[in-house]
Amino acid sequence: MPSFESLKTDLQQINNDLDTSIETVLALPGMPTDTFQAWRDICAAIDQQVAEDVIRVAVVGAIKSGKSTFVNSLFKADYLKRGAGVVTSIVTRARNGPYLKATLFFKSWDEINADMQQAMALFPSSRWQTGDDRFDIRRGRDRQELSSALGSLKSELLISDGARNVNSIVLDSYLNGYDTVQPIMVSDHLTKVFEDDAFDGQQAFAGSDALAVYLKDIELEINNGSLDTNVEIADCQGSDSPNPLHLAKIQEYLLRAHLLIYVISSRTGLRQADIRFISMIKQMGILENILFVVNCDFSEHETVEDLTVLVERTGHELAMLRPQPEVFAFSSLLNLFRAKQGKNSDKDALRLSQWTKEEALTAYSDQASERFISNFQRKLIRERSALLLTNNVERLGVISSGLEYWAKLNRDVVNGDARSVDQILEKIDFHRKQMGKIASLVKSTLDGSVQKVKKEIKTNIDRFFDARYGSTMKQIIDYIRTYRMPFERYEENLEASGFTDTLYLVFQDFKESLDKHLAETINPQIIRFVRQEEARVAEYLESIAGPYETMVQEAMADYNHSMEQLGISLNGGDNAEERKKNLSARQHGSDLTLPPLDTTMRYSARIKTEAVVKLGVYSLENIFRKLLKKNSGGGIQQKVKALNDGVKRMKRETERSVLAHLKDYKENIKFQYMYKLSSAMAEHLYGVLLESFDAYFSDISNMVALIREERIDKKSTLQLLEKMGTDASMALGKIDRLRNKIRMSQDDEPESA
């Protein structure tokens, strides 16, 4: 099977040869520069796309499943921090490069302050009073007051379900890391680079919650391993992270990824967190291109039989979610230790020595590892061929065919007598006008179709996000309204910590539950809906373009027939269908992206509860009851009643805030993504249908006039045209051979594990 590198090299060579031929032609006087310059622009765009477009591979799985170890094993050394904290939302993206380089991308101060505002919603401490001012971590007074407020919180407000409250960790991390990060983030400088010997400096940021919380993500370039520079491997945060915002970040990368690798630890097998996450991926509609890796821990398995039982059980469980899953079981750590021979620590060297003696287990791991690498490479070739090669090969075919035709036509014109040349020019001019009418008709039709599509997009998106009739929005409302607070759980807190502290604890528990619901259930539904809309728009526009494709082909055939009657035999033809098939694949390389999914959970800044006022009202009622010698009901009952009413108010405010926030998100999907995407699709189809027109109907009258006026040497022009035709013919032959190679790489089905 041909490697992708060889396919890419063939494509680049054809592209470079064609660009050189076009450059030579452009040097001649009288050439139709618009046509040839357009072809050169295409060649330049292809060269840039092949060099820059990236195949993204997302490595996902639960915390401590061995994702970072797996990625390190691909690059054959410990480049990524292993065992990084679980509270950060970093996606570490790694690819091959000329030297070691780590680029850290920081959040802006506005994003940092927004994160902290989210975590401080309904903050209970009276020591923290922002008034009308918004919190700004850059102000020393704000940092000091927040630090004091956090220190005053009782332990029960910092612990939730046996673990530290996520919001308190986020706030602590920001405060603790500020002094280190502030000097880096001067002005608009939001990146920091570690190169060569300083490369490992990035691990200090990835491994520290206080520093990693300031980062968006990390990009690594590594001069090791066998992966090509166009392949990006992303080590994603654990799918069972306690912070739902992290799950939204993973979902965003999954939307851009072409291949998923799900890592499962052999210590635990498939866990509930894995099943929940894989089910979510399935709901998103992106489960079809995934490999499963059971990361073997040899210390957990005495024999190959023991390991085989676990792998078979895992495969059986996965089959309920993904029919015929491709499962590979091997030790990433074994592969990593072997790749680091001579550079392992004494402890790791001892472990490697012990594992090597386990011949049956290591042989099992090696065989599975080889099968995985083989299948992984095949999938990469398949995806990359479809994304980077197939469409570009067809575009080069259009250029080569146009060059061959143009050279042949001009040879006949240069060799012909005045009368025959005039007849040719007359015929070309006639067909050019006809094709101009068709092009205008196609353009106006597609423009009109886009306007119709946008109206339908608006209707569908408005319906999906409708609070009364949209099932997804009704799910959110029902979840908020039916959420039951276990008030008995908070009675002890009311006595020990008071009303405002308990209200904060209640809100944090409620918000965490709602955010989890949004991330695990609502976001996948939004993603699936958007993907369905994308497919619907593409299908509709292709159906509109279909009849015009036939019209174009008929016009081309009519033109070729006219030329044959004048004694000029042309190949004609254009494989527009192949290029049209890449309409959906084109989205992967587009700058258009879905609005960030974590914005669906940034609603709490809108919440302005009046629950504290409720307590004052009840306290006043109690005073009047005492004066009237009525039973006051006791202090705890007052507080429980106030808490109950406060929670009702909080839920109403939350419902309004979520719906208002999702209304904004809906408009962003509509205007910033779907409208722009539909226009881009139509533009692509227009280009596909008419890309070859200029090749066959370019204006050659200037060159004819120059030859007649003997301002161009006829002999040298004929020689150039002969060479140009030969070169174009050779390019077409190379393109046919490259098509066959690509077809071979795509038809070669991966071996099932």
352 shares a domain with 443: no
Domain boundary among 338, 357, 376: 357
> Could you tell me the two tokens for 322?
């993904």
**Residues 615/639, Cβ–Cβ less than 8 Å:** yes
Q: Pick from 208-212, 345-349, 648-652 the range whose average pLDDT is largest.
A: 345-349
Total domains in the fold of the chain = 2
Over residues 359-410, the pLDDT tens digits come to: 999 999 999 999 999 999 888 877 767 667 887 888 898 889 888 888 887 7
| CATH number for the domain harbouring residue 194 | 3.40.50.300
Amino acid at position 683, single letter: E
> Could you tell me the two tokens for 192?
């920091």
**Residues 240/63, Cβ–Cβ less than 8 Å:** yes
The helix, strand and coil proportions of the chain, stated in percent and rounded to the nearest 5, come to: 70, 10, 25
Q: Pick from 4-13, 38-47, 659-668 the range whose average pLDDT is largest.
A: 659-668
587 shares a domain with 496: yes
Question: With 90 as the cut, is the pLDDT of residue 138 above it?
Answer: yes
State the distance between the two ends of the chain, measured CA to CA, in whole angstroms: 19
Query: To 5 degrees, how large is the angle CA 229–CA 233–CA 239?
Result: 170
The alpha carbon dihedral of 583, 6, 746, 233 has a sign of: negative
**Residues 675/454, Cβ–Cβ less than 8 Å:** yes
Is 627 part of any domain?
Answer: no
Domain containing residue 538: 429-606+656-711
Question: With 60 as the cut, is the pLDDT of residue 425 above it?
Answer: yes
Over residues 16-29, the pLDDT tens digits come to: 999 998 888 787 77
What is the C-alpha separation between 417 and 483, in angstroms, rounded? 89
What is the C-alpha separation between 40 and 25, in angstroms, rounded? 11
Is 130 part of any domain?
Answer: no
- pLDDT value, residue 330: 96
Question: With 70 as the cut, is the pLDDT of residue 164 above it?
Answer: no
Domain boundary among 357, 381, 406: 357
A 10 A CB-CB count for 701 gives: 14
Q: Can you tell me which residue has the tokens 């890309």?
A: 691
Return all residues near 201 (Cβ < 8 A) that are at least 6 apart. Answer: 102, 194
Q: Can you tell me which residue has the tokens 């494989």?
A: 575
A 10 A CB-CB count for 419 gives: 8
Overall average pLDDT of the 514-536 stretch:
92
What is the C-alpha separation between 481 and 5, in angstroms, rounded? 56
Length of the chain: 753
Question: With 80 as the cut, is the pLDDT of residue 4 above it?
Answer: no
Query: Which residue has better confidence, 582 or 747?
Result: 747
Over residues 230-286, the pLDDT tens digits come to: 899 999 887 777 778 788 888 989 988 889 999 999 998 999 989 999 999 999 888
351 shares a domain with 241: yes
**Residues 359/6, Cβ–Cβ less than 8 Å:** no
Find the largest Cα–Cα distance for the chain: 121
Beta-strand relationship, 259-265 and 55-61:
parallel
> Could you tell me the two tokens for 60?
């996902």
Is 522 part of any domain?
Answer: yes
Exposed / middle / buried, residue 202 (Cβ in 10 Å: 0-12, 13-18, 19+): buried
User: Mean pLDDT in the chain?
Assistant: 83
352 shares a domain with 433: no
581 shares a domain with 500: yes
Which element (helix H / strand E) includes 537? helix 523-565
Find the range with the poorest average confidence among 120-124, 143-147, 171-175, 383-387.
383-387
434 shares a domain with 351: no
470 shares a domain with 566: yes
Is 245 part of any domain?
Answer: yes
460 shares a domain with 329: no
301 shares a domain with 450: no
Which element (helix H / strand E) includes 464? helix 418-464
Overall average pLDDT of the 404-426 stretch:
78
- pLDDT value, residue 563: 78
Overall average pLDDT of the 204-221 stretch:
89
- pLDDT value, residue 618: 54
**Residues 580/543, Cβ–Cβ less than 8 Å:** no
> Could you tell me the two tokens for 143?
């940092």
What is the C-alpha separation between 689 and 694, in angstroms, rounded? 12
Radius of gyration of the chain (CA): 32
Task: Tell me if residue 102 falls in helix, strand or coil.
Answer: strand
Q: Can you tell me which residue has the tokens 């120059």?
A: 706
How far, in Å, are 54, 80, 534 from residue 584 at the CA level? 16, 33, 8
> What is the pLDDT confidence band of residue 620, given thresholds at 50, 70 and 90?
very low
Is 17 part of any domain?
Answer: no
Question: With 70 as the cut, is the pLDDT of residue 99 above it?
Answer: yes
- pLDDT value, residue 709: 64
Question: With 70 as the cut, is the pLDDT of residue 704 above it?
Answer: no
Query: Which residue has better confidence, 158 or 662?
Result: 662
**Residues 722/407, Cβ–Cβ less than 8 Å:** yes
Over residues 473-482, the pLDDT tens digits come to: 999 999 999 9
What is the C-alpha separation between 647 and 507, in angstroms, rounded? 8
What is the C-alpha separation between 146 and 133, in angstroms, rounded? 14
Find the range with the poorest average confidence among 64-78, 145-159, 196-210, 689-703.
689-703
Over residues 59-94, the pLDDT tens digits come to: 999 888 999 999 999 999 999 987 655 545 578 999
Strands (E), 444-585: none
Overall average pLDDT of the 211-223 stretch:
92
What is the C-alpha separation between 265 and 648, in angstroms, rounded? 43
Under DSSP, the state recorded for 673 is I
> What is the pLDDT confidence band of residue 752, given thresholds at 50, 70 and 90?
very low
Question: With 60 as the cut, is the pLDDT of residue 503 above it?
Answer: yes
194 shares a domain with 85: yes
Over residues 623-663, the pLDDT tens digits come to: 445 555 555 455 677 777 777 887 888 888 889 889 988 99
Is 413 part of any domain?
Answer: no
Among 387, 396, 400, smallest CA distance to 745 is for 387
- pLDDT value, residue 753: 43
What is the C-alpha separation between 478 and 640, in angstroms, rounded? 24
- pLDDT value, residue 415: 77
CA 120 to chain centre: 30
A 10 A CB-CB count for 457 gives: 21
596 shares a domain with 464: yes
Is 376 part of any domain?
Answer: no
> What is the pLDDT confidence band of residue 750, given thresholds at 50, 70 and 90?
very low
What is the C-alpha separation between 447 and 445, in angstroms, rounded? 5
What is the C-alpha separation between 185 and 182, in angstroms, rounded? 5
What DSSP assignment string belongs to 590-656?
SS--PPPGGGGG--GGG----HHHHHHHHHHHHHHHHHTT-----HHHHHHHHHHHHHHHHHHHHHH
Is 641 part of any domain?
Answer: no
434 shares a domain with 313: no
Domain boundary among 357, 390, 405: 357
What is the C-alpha separation between 509 and 503, in angstroms, rounded? 10
